[in-house]
A and B are shown apart, each in its own frame.
Chain A
Amino acid sequence: MSRGLFAVLLLALLAHTAPAFAQDDIEGVVPTPAENAAQEPAPQQAVNPESIQIGLSTNRVAITADFSGADLTIFGSLDYADPLVARQGRYDVIVVLEGPAQEVVVRRKDRVLGMWINMESETFTNVPVSYSVATTRMPQDITDTNSYRQLSLGADYLHIEPVDRDGNPATISEFREALRERKAAAGLFNMRVGGVEFLSQSLFRASLPLSPSVPVGTHKARAFLFKNGVFIKESSAQLSIVKSGFEQTIARFSVNHGFSYGILATALAIVTGWIGRIVFRRD
């Protein structure tokens, strides 16, 4: 059941008159002047007037127990865009939906006496449970790896720090790669090239896949604006994903009231056994 999830983003077309949407506006690093002939000869391009906005119409998305994945659509706007740059398609947007951070243990199986047994492990902190990326173009066409690394943007460039920083760097990087690979295999780290589309010069739409195992918690949606390959601005919004329904009530109960849950599970077994005995009596 793939219900389209529309956390419709407010088109904050008049961003500056709507400060409520201007959350976490971050000024970008002042870019070096781009060597572009099409660039107006404004000699010192010290200020980029552009601003990017995303804002969610709802900050809470409830998914039911039988949720099997969906697309999350986010609208956003780009204001004070240079029409010339826009016409040449030199504006790029990357939208990221980042799940809550967690500690993750990565284990490696090795062959011992012919059996595959978990041997070495490495613990990483602050790993987002999920990390979905939508971009306007192939990431290597937007900006270079250095910028991605500086921004900690994209699953491949995300800073993932081990708890034990003094470990063997080769091992750490091997386990870090494995972590990314496993997360991607589980559909939790994903990327959609072309997932962000400009609908007009100032309006864009991003669609991000939510995996069936999308974790509950507070997710952060962030939009990064690039102009001529240079990072300009970032805007972000919070989105909390909650699971709803009977099954979720059970899961919460089992964690918060483990003992009572155990008693009830046992009582259920006794009653089922007793009723079974009455219904299917054979002596």
Chain B
Amino acid sequence: MARVGIYLPIAELSVNLFVLLAMGAAVGFLSGMFGVGGGFLITPLLIFYNIPPAIAVATGANQVVASSFSGALSHVKKGTLDFKLGTVLLAGGIVGATLGIYVFSLLRELGQLDLFISLLYVVLLGTVGGLMLVESLRAIRRSRDGAAPTLKKPGQHNWIHRLPLKMRFRASKLFVSVIPVLGLGAGIGFLSSIMGVGGGFIMVPALIYLLKVPTNVVIGTSLFQIIFVAAYTTIVHATANHTVDVVLAFMLMVGGVAGAQYGAKVGQRLRGEQLRALLALLVLAVALRLGFDLFVKPQSIFSLAGPGI
């Protein structure tokens, strides 16, 4: 196969066009299959592919805009999108993202950005992957025992529902305080700007288990707010850090949009708990790989940094 090199103007290196398209397609496939944005896979993959972490993060956010917009459109059509809830989440998200970008610049100046990104990924992916694996294995065992696969019914009320400043969200059939909603949005926004992820893999379980939002509304609403937070993150990274590589992002978007289609088809054929177990293994593998790099002695303990990257 002829090597089709494509030069990334911001990352300042030449990469293989097919590798990028395949990477985008593979992540798009998984995101279609599992219903997540895929940012948490794209950014580590780019880092493994020697893209500097600062660029991988900002470019990942740009790619997330495309995939979440595409996904949100279909939820608008199906009416499974709570605009009001999404907007409140978004308000928190913008605050979190602003803080995140400030921390991002600061860490970059201190030379600790790469470490912080890797640590966040290891901790978050390790936790989410671990929990998901345990849950899905339990479900698989249950269904093998012949019991009907039942999703745990959300409990009636928890401490979150006792907080003041209540607000009604009709589409979600929810009457809840705005404090946890804003806080959740801010947390996701912060992660989005530092990790280059949409945060769907945290947002979805948090909305379901903490706020008790009906599952059918969760994905559309989370995608809706992710569009804006990721767009905001992209613009601010482009302005403050000049780390968005639009050529790289475009290759990933094209691959991702196409891959999502086939992923969704395969996803419909597989059983839910099997899917979740597979995703959990994938997430854990990424976390282990990133963690491994932290503990292995680097080739050279010295590194240079200029005014550029």
Contact = CB atoms under 8 A, between A and B. Distances in A.
A105 B246 contact: no
Nearest to B118: A115
Interface in A73-132: 102-111, 114-118, 121, 129
Given A116-B294, A251-B10, A254-B10, A262 B65 contact: no
B302 A106 contact: yes
A179 B115 CA distance: 21
Contacts of A270: 65-66, 69, 231
Interface residues of B, number: 58
B222 interface: no
B149 interface: no
A34 interface: no
Interface residues of A, number: 55
Given A107-B305, A213-B12, A254-B9, A266 B62 contact: yes
Contacts of B78: 283
Interface in A244-283: 247-248, 250-251, 254-255, 258-259, 261-266, 268-270, 272-277, 279-280, 282-283
A65 interface: yes
Nearest to B257: A276
A183 interface: yes
B154 interface: no
Contact of A254 (B242, B265, B305): B242
A282 B264 contact: yes
A109 B249 CA distance: 31
Nearest to A280: B261
B155 interface: no
Contacts of B73: 273-274, 277
Interface string B212-251: 0000000000000000000100111111101010110110
Contacts of B63: 269
Contacts of A283: 74, 77-78
Contacts of B240: 258
Contact of A116 (B69, B70, B74, B297): B297
Interface in B79-135: 111-112, 114-115
Nearest to A246: B9
Pairs of residues from A and B, 5 with the lowest C-beta to C-beta distance, nearest first? A276-B257, A262-B238, A262-B235, A273-B69, A269-B65
12 contacts: A109-B298, A109-B301, A118-B303, A178-B300, A182-B300, A251-B12, A265-B244, A266-B234, A272-B250, A277-B73, A279-B257, A282-B74
Interface of A: 65-66, 68, 102-111, 114-118, 121, 129, 175, 178-179, 181-183, 185, 213, 247-248, 250-251, 254-255, 258-259, 261-266, 268-270, 272-277, 279-280, 282-283
